[in-house]
Amino acid sequence: MDRFLAFVRKEIYHILRDWRTLIILLGMPIIQILLFGFAITNEIKHAKIAILDQAKDTHSKALIDKLLATEYFILDEYLSNESEIEPIFKKGNIKEVILFEPGFGQRLEKESIAHMQVIADASDPNTATMLLNYTKAIVTDYQMQQNARKKLPFSIDIHAEMFYNKELKGVYLFVPGLIAIILMLVSAMMTSISITKEKELGTMEVLLATPMQPAVIILAKVIPYLLLSFINAIIILLLGYFVFGVPIHGNLMLLLAEMILFILTVLSLGIFISTVTSSQQVALMASLMGLMLPTILLSGFIFPVENMPWPLQLISNIVPAKWFIIIIKGIMLKGAGIGLVWKETVILMGFLVFFILLSIKKFKPRLT
């Protein structure tokens, strides 16, 4: 045990001495979450809209108030007739125009059906779709309020349901994804680099000539990175919670346990990479190309897996981060317990066992 601790201490010295890398490792999650949270957010705030209210009755006014009360829309101007719509779009700073038909409120009261039109500037299709969804959601909400009061079913068929993330907050989705990415980066990349570094410098040979068991050497090398990864994950959780108000609805202990499971899985991946590469450069490239890209692209972090063509959907199944993101989204946002995420947990454990066995198999010939 003393030998093991001597080894871990040496590994910690390595990490602390290389303070540039350490700053990057600890600073990266902070910068990334601030970037994703504030800058690369895919939610739209303060979009300028114009309104053409041809009804000017209580219902249309109430709806307009409701729309403008959100932080998504800012009223740029009221229009007075339809011919103004196109010019105002052409000026370019209006994202959406909302039209109420004449007699909107009356028709709603008497015929239970009224029409409104939403015209969005689709030169930026993502923004247009999102604004449209926001608008639909708000209108639907208004209908439901009215329905409850008057028991008059409306037949306007707008259905936009935002479950769990009613406000479509982007940062809710980014925090779980970021945890996965950062853990991937620190755990897999740094362990594979630190192990290949010993090979490259020739110190691995000396270590193997000592009475230390190879498995113990690897374990001792990995433990400090386990700690570092865990600290990183905590930083992201705290930032998400205090800066962006991302909730943790589920059991915190379960969340931390799942994070440790994922870290171990990724560490085993890093060990595997180090067994098949012998230089730091190759290990770095293998980690970046082989792990980071699939994690970013195929885990559902940025692009929904459901929207991918089926071959990519199949491939996404072998990306451990995909399962991890499902798990932590479940725990953080939906308050899921182990009963709801046990399947994904078992899959992660499977990855862990698989990569450890593979590493042992690959590592052996090099020792003998």
Going by the DSSP 8-state scheme, the letter that residue 268 receives in this structure is H
CB of 286 to other proteins, least distance (A): 23
Please tell me whether residue 203 binds other proteins under the rule CB under 8 A. yes
The sign of the CA dihedral 305, 229, 348, 243 is negative
Q: Name the strand (E) or helix (H) holding 51.
A: strand 47-53
Q: How many residues bind other proteins (CB under 8 A)?
A: 24
User: Considering beta carbons, is residue 105 or 224 the nearer one to other proteins?
Assistant: 224
Please tell me whether residue 364 binds other proteins under the rule CB under 8 A. no
The tokens 């209006």 sit on which residue? 94
Among residues 262, 271, 268, 265, the alpha carbon closest in space to that of 192 is found at 271
Stretch that binds other proteins, among 77-85, 199-207, 298-306, 318-326 (CB under 8 A): 199-207
Please tell me whether residue 19 binds other proteins under the rule CB under 8 A. no
Of 81, 83, 155, 210, the one binding other proteins by CB under 8 A = 210
CB of 362 to other proteins, least distance (A): 17
CB of 275 to other proteins, least distance (A): 16
Under 8 Å CB-to-CB from 144, ≥6 apart: which residues?
A: none
Stretch that binds other proteins, among 12-20, 54-62, 165-173, 260-268 (CB under 8 A): 12-20
Of 211, 304, 309, 339, the one binding other proteins by CB under 8 A = 211
Please tell me whether residue 202 binds other proteins under the rule CB under 8 A. yes
Cβ atoms of residues 364 and 274 within 8 Å: no
Of 28, 158, 168, 212, the one binding other proteins by CB under 8 A = 212
Of 34, 40, 122, 201, the one binding other proteins by CB under 8 A = 201
Under 8 Å CB-to-CB from 336, ≥6 apart: which residues?
A: 250, 330
Residues 296, 249: Cα–Cα separation, whole Å: 25
Q: What are the Cα distances from residue 54, in Å, to 98, 100, 170?
A: 11, 6, 35
In degrees, rounded to 5, the angle at the alpha carbon of residue 258 between the alpha carbons of residues 175 and 41 is: 10
Please tell me whether residue 357 binds other proteins under the rule CB under 8 A. no
Please tell me whether residue 18 binds other proteins under the rule CB under 8 A. yes
N-term to C-term CA, the chain: 24
Of 39, 148, 209, 253, the one binding other proteins by CB under 8 A = 209
Q: How far is CA 240 from the centre of its chain?
A: 11
Site for other proteins in 125-144 (CB under 8 A): none
Residues 257, 85: Cα–Cα separation, whole Å: 55
User: Considering beta carbons, is residue 109 or 200 the nearer one to other proteins?
Assistant: 200
Written as six digits, the tokens of 122 are 């689709």
Please tell me whether residue 12 binds other proteins under the rule CB under 8 A. no
Please tell me whether residue 207 binds other proteins under the rule CB under 8 A. yes
User: Considering beta carbons, is residue 2 or 161 the nearer one to other proteins?
Assistant: 2
Burial of 210 per CB tally in 10 Å (0-12, 13-18, 19+): exposed
Residues that bind other proteins (CB under 8 A): 2-3, 5-7, 9-10, 13-14, 17-18, 201-203, 205-212, 367-368
